[in-house]
Structures are given as C-alpha cells and as structure tokens.
Structure 1
Amino acid sequence: MAKSYDPPTVWKPFGAFSMVRINEDGQLIHLKGQVSLDREGQVVGKGDMRAQVRQTLENIKAVLAAVGGEMADIVSLTQYATDIERFMASGDIRKEFFSEPYPVTTTVQIVRLYHPDLQIEITAIAEIPRNRFRMPAG
C-alpha cells in the first residue's frame, strides 16, 4: 500500500499532491508525456484548459490501464502548462483522478507545446503492483 509523507519542516501541500510518496514493491513504468488528443490525434478542448486537463488525465488513465495500472499507482507527475494560472484553476479536476496519497508533482510554465492549440502536457511515473502488471503484447 502506498503512503505519503509531508514533513513538518517544509510548507504544507495546498493541493492534490504530496511531498514524498512511498510505494510497495512493483513494476516501475515511465509514461510519455500526454496531451489533450483524442484517439484520432485531434486536439480536444481547443482554448479550454479545463477540458484539456481532463482529456490529458483520461489519456494517462487509459495508458496505465493498458498495462494493468490505475491512477493510484502514479508516484510522480511533471506538468507543463502554457498558462499556470489557468492550470492551477483546474485543481478540482485533478481531485477527480487522484486521492491520497497524492503523487509528488512538479508544474512548470512553458511558452508553448509542439501544437499551438495544446495548453498542457503531463508526464507520469507509476509503480504498478506486480500482481496487476501486464506486459504489453508485441
């Protein structure tokens, strides 16, 4: 079972993230950065950060599920946003996908992503329990 720890010697997390996340023995996987694209590669939520955050997290959820993982298996996230204020206003959406212990999180504002309509990219590291992990075929 995963645990989180927020040391009293540093500031208390103000959102859906932890300072330290400790997992049990499992299969560590690194996910490619996900963006707000549908299955056909079309941008979802053009001009709408909240819609893009939701689609991006749904994509992460789908990638994890393909190898036996769940959102609760995510240990760490790195989030790249083109507008940090608009991204921070989507914290309630993150709470729909994550519960305690939250993943450790780093968020960075960037000038742009590879497509001008994309506003957010999120990479993840997850540790899937070995009894659930499924190696993809092929």
Structure 2
Amino acid sequence: MARSYNPPTVWKPFGAFSMVKIHEGGQLVHLKGQVSLDREGRLVGKGDMRAQVRQTLENIKAVLAAIGGEMADIVSLTQYATDIEQFMAAGDIRKEFFFEPYPVTTTVQIMRLYHPDLQIEITAIAEIPRNRFRMPED
C-alpha cells in the first residue's frame, strides 16, 4: 500500500490530490490512458465534460478491478483535458471516486485528443497490495 504526504513546506492541496505518494511494497501497475468509451468502444457524453469524466473514471475503476485493484490504490494520475475550466468544474465527480489520501495529479490542457469528440484522457499508476493483486490470465 502507498501512503500520502503533504509537506508543510509547500502549499496545501486544494482539491482531490496529494503532494507525494510513497510506495510501500505492493504490485506497481501502469494503466493506459482511458477515455470516455463504453465497453463496445462507443463515445459516452459527446460535448459533455462531466459525462466524459465519469465514464473515464469508471473505465479506470474497471481496469483496476480486473486485477484486484481499487481506486484507493492509485498513486498518480495524469489528466489531459481539452477545456481546463470544464474539467475543473467536474471536481465533484472526481471526489466520488477518490478519498483521502488522494493520489498525486498532473492536469494539462491540450488542443485535442485522437478523436475530436473526446474531451478528457486520464492515465494512472497504481500500487495494488500483493494480497489482492491478481495476475491476468492470457
């Protein structure tokens, strides 16, 4: 399991993130960037950042669950948004998926993703406790 730390020597986090997340011996996994596609590969939430954030986080949750992980196991997120204001306004949705201690995050605004209707892509690094981790079968 990883633990979070917010040093008093820098600014206090203002949202659902921590300054540092320290590994403590679990299974480290890197998740491919997820977007708001459903199981059949269809776009969810065209023109709706909130719907896209929710679907993207649901996809991350599903990928982790398939190998024994949980959202609380996420150590780090990198978030790419086509509209930073709309993405930040969806912070309440992110708080439905993450609780303290929050993962560290980096959020950047980009011009577009690989499909023009996509507004958000999120990639994650997680540390799953070894007693829960399930190696996928080929």
CA shift digits 1:82-114 (9 cap, x unpaired): 000000001110110000110000000000000
| Percentage of identical aligned residues | 89
- Is the partner of 1:105 in helix, strand or coil? strand
- How does 1:55-134 map onto structure 2 within 5 Å? 55-134=55-134
- How does 1:8-27 map onto structure 2 within 5 Å? 8-27=8-27
**Aligned residue number for residue 40 of structure 1:** 40
The gaps in structure 2 that reach 5 residues or longer are none
Cα distance in 2 for residues equivalent to 1:59 and 1:29 = 15
Cα distance in 2 for residues equivalent to 1:3 and 1:46 = 36
Cα distance in 1 for residues equivalent to 2:90 and 2:24 = 30
| Deviates most, 6-15 or 78-87 | 6-15
* 4+ runs deviating over 6 angstroms: none
Q: Are 1:2 and 1:101, in contact at CA under 8 Å, matched by a contact in 2?
A: no
Q: Are 2:2 and 2:127, in contact at CA under 8 Å, matched by a contact in 1?
A: no
CA shift digits 1:1-34 (9 cap, x unpaired): 5422111111111000000112421100000000
- Is the partner of 1:51 in helix, strand or coil? helix
**Aligned residue number for residue 30 of structure 2:** 30
The gaps in structure 1 that reach 5 residues or longer are none
Q: Are 2:67 and 2:136, in contact at CA under 8 Å, matched by a contact in 1?
A: yes
Cα distance in 2 for residues equivalent to 1:2 and 1:41 = 32
Cα distance in 2 for residues equivalent to 1:94 and 1:24 = 25
- TM-score norm. by structure 1 comes to 0.97
- Is the partner of 1:28 in helix, strand or coil? strand
CA shift digits 1:40-86 (9 cap, x unpaired): 10110000000000000000000000000000000000000000000
- TM-score norm. by structure 2 comes to 0.97
Give the total of aligned pairs.
138
